[in-house]
Structure 1
């Protein structure tokens, strides 16, 4: 997915849907101690305390008051709040509280996220609170065994030994083994189309997290499929026959004349919650959600907001010397966790290798990008969370919602092309009320464009970060032509051993042109 597509919202039309013109400003809401939070289930309170949570952040308090109580969930909820402000718990807590009040085992809440790692991170939050009130949470994510997921999601009725049964009759008795499902859209569609017993007919809550990204990608038409599968007919019952040809081999079990929720009770509408740090304002995209009298909650008047305790800094780098400035920064933070963002998968891989060539700098860097398979990415992220790795070089695959405790510094090695990209990159630090810094490395010709970007994200200042000339000189002494030639050869060997044939041919072409400095700059995208 190219950056132009990823951040196309920067060019969205100026029109705004009416309900977005008068948002509820949650920035003035005070944090709230758990003891004073109205109606909180005592078992949930205990589970939160075991997580180390003693109070809720403003966005969490605001959503709680709009969802819990006599008029709870009368409207769909839309949240545009900075990264690290606590959006996950803002929807997880009220959903778990409400579902616990009606103890029936069926799939009643679905949370959809764009990536596997983000989905598993959200599932961890649900896992920490849902079991306390008797609810079960499942996951449906890519790069994992679908057979294993089915065994966890679907409960098969027990049969007495020696009794023959009709497989078709048995499939009608399959039941959900989970109350809440956290899923990626592709794997969700796999279960909708192919898993016997998987049904959305009782679904009460649909959460679309990182909404702007999920609306930009079709993901096998997951959203219209889910909405159609959860629509009521005029009499409040599901249609007796619903197998649209557009959905291919749709095999979800449809129990005829079953009301969502419980027989004999009024048909509850499907409640939707949509959240992002950069929620789209494009009416043509928002209309896909079919929102019911949406309530728009945001922080302040501007569309984009940086975390309150984030400090933005910039470094103006000499031509061809970005790696020198980068290494100087990293050496000054020994032991601190840092994420370095680049513009592409290729740059991520090669910059990571380069940093590890600076042996005397004691920099242990690993890569996180779409160029790695999911198991490797998850392994590196786990090591980074544990502190076994201090530096993670990442493509924008890591920008969305990922929460890693203890990240004090974020570096834009390549300047973000759009304000939205900057918001999500910077949001990997200064989370949950903690302080953090975001550094951007710039060449002289990028300074003016970066200043325009800062205005869009509402940053009043971004001072130049001073680096000691002595520290630069010591690294520059290592960064010699002979070092570049040696590093280039090592990079070529690594690329030839790891990259597919097409990538090797492209690398050989680059290696045959230009001097070693030029070749190395191409390798690291050093501008």
Structure 2
């Protein structure tokens, strides 16, 4: 593995990385940072959790000047949670260069954002909706923009933000560097990228072995009618220290949380319809071990980085293998043992077969005693 000095990262950022005990670059950082530093547009495909955020933040910080007026870097990301996470990463680097950062996402008081924008903001990290709001109000000036990042572009399109992203891009200078990072580069992502880039370099980081050895996976065959009882039986048997329960939709999260709460389980729900301030409070409570079970949708949990999660319960079948891997990757971190349960109804057979084929594993079956 290469160190960051070899990749052209300057002394002040190197010092900050050392302080964070980040010494070696990941594959995606190794392959993209030199190209970004040379000014190339980039399309990078790399799995979640491979260090994509630092791959674009480090060269952006190198390029930004604190004496230049106006926004120099713009990162567009699909969800509030990801915007918060990127902002946290960027804030850790702030001391290296004294860059002023604004996180602009829905659910956060726009007044405080407007107040911040009166100062010289260098880097904006935003969700599409809130950014459009600022553009309509003419409260953000992009005339000195150097770099645009489209982060998790596949999710952005999946969530229906194509038109918003197009509108935003039409309102920023054509002379800029554009970086597109995504867990999957499908034809829609390629179309969006190529339309807005100049001769981009395409980087694909080969997917690593998808199942983690320290996560014990178990499959429970059930029916939709008996699924809730099956889940409760497993929760009582396992009594997890800290667990995330995944549901397919916001309504399913609502219904399950209500049912489990009535049965006396210490649980809270997390999805996109919950106010941002409340979501942040819930996450804080979960991290502080005041909540045992977090019931969430995939979108709400995307980008969550929480240590100590011992169990993941796939109450609803994930859409595909990548979603399954992403879910179960919330446990078994930092060398700790983790447990992942997958509940499968008869209608899920095709998706289950596809997941098992992709992860090259027949998930061991667990039979619940009556």
Please state which band the TM-score falls in when normalised by the shorter chain: 0.7 to 0.9
Give the Cα–Cα distance (whole angstroms) in 1 for the partners of residues 70 and 336 of structure 2: 38
Aligned to 2:178: 272
Aligned to 2:58: 93
Deviation at 1:218, TM superposition (A): 5.5
Change (3 A) 1:85 1:283: closer
> Is the contact made by 1:139 and 1:181 (CA closer than 8 Å) also made in structure 2?
yes
Is 1:44 the equivalent of 2:8?
A: no
> Is the contact made by 1:116 and 1:184 (CA closer than 8 Å) also made in structure 2?
yes
Q: Which residue among 125, 142, 146 is the counterpart of 1:200?
A: 142
Give the Cα–Cα distance (whole angstroms) in 1 for the partners of residues 142 and 223 of structure 2: 57
Aligned to 2:121: 178
TM-score by length of 2: 0.87
Deviation at 1:437, TM superposition (A): 4.7
> Is the contact made by 1:401 and 1:424 (CA closer than 8 Å) also made in structure 2?
no
Alignment of 1:402-441 (within 5 A): 402-419=304-321, 421-429=323-331, 436-441=338-343
SS, match of residue 64 in structure 2? helix
Q: Which residue among 268, 275, 294 is the counterpart of 1:373?
A: 275
Please list the CA deviations of residues 289-331 of structure 1 after superposition, one character each: whole Å capped at 9, or x if unmatched: 422222222232x7x9746556654222367432343234334
Q: Which runs of 5+ in 2 are unaligned?
A: none
Q: Which residue among 132, 149, 156 is the counterpart of 1:214?
A: 156
Change (3 A) 1:87 1:428: farther
Deviation at 1:151, TM superposition (A): 1.0
TM-score by length of 1: 0.63
Q: Which runs of 5+ in 1 are unaligned?
A: 1-29, 156-176, 233-268, 474-527
Is 1:461 the equivalent of 2:358?
A: no
Give the Cα–Cα distance (whole angstroms) in 1 for the partners of residues 351 and 156 of structure 2: 28
Deviation at 1:399, TM superposition (A): 4.1
Equivalences, count: 369
Alignment of 1:45-124 (within 5 A): 45-68=14-37, 72-74=38-40, 76-99=41-64, 103-124=67-88
Give the Cα–Cα distance (whole angstroms) in 2 for the partners of residues 295 and 435 of structure 1: 39
Please list the CA deviations of residues 434-463 of structure 1 after superposition, one character each: whole Å capped at 9, or x if unmatched: 7755431112453344112443xx210032
Give the Cα–Cα distance (whole angstroms) in 1 for the partners of residues 300 and 223 of structure 2: 28
> Is the contact made by 1:83 and 1:427 (CA closer than 8 Å) also made in structure 2?
no
Give the Cα–Cα distance (whole angstroms) in 2 for the partners of residues 432 and 148 of structure 1: 37
Please list the CA deviations of residues 202-252 of structure 1 after superposition, one character each: whole Å capped at 9, or x if unmatched: 1111111110232345659433333333345xxxxxxxxxxxxxxxxxxxx
The alignment's C-alpha RMSD in Å is 3.0
Change (3 A) 1:185 1:431: farther
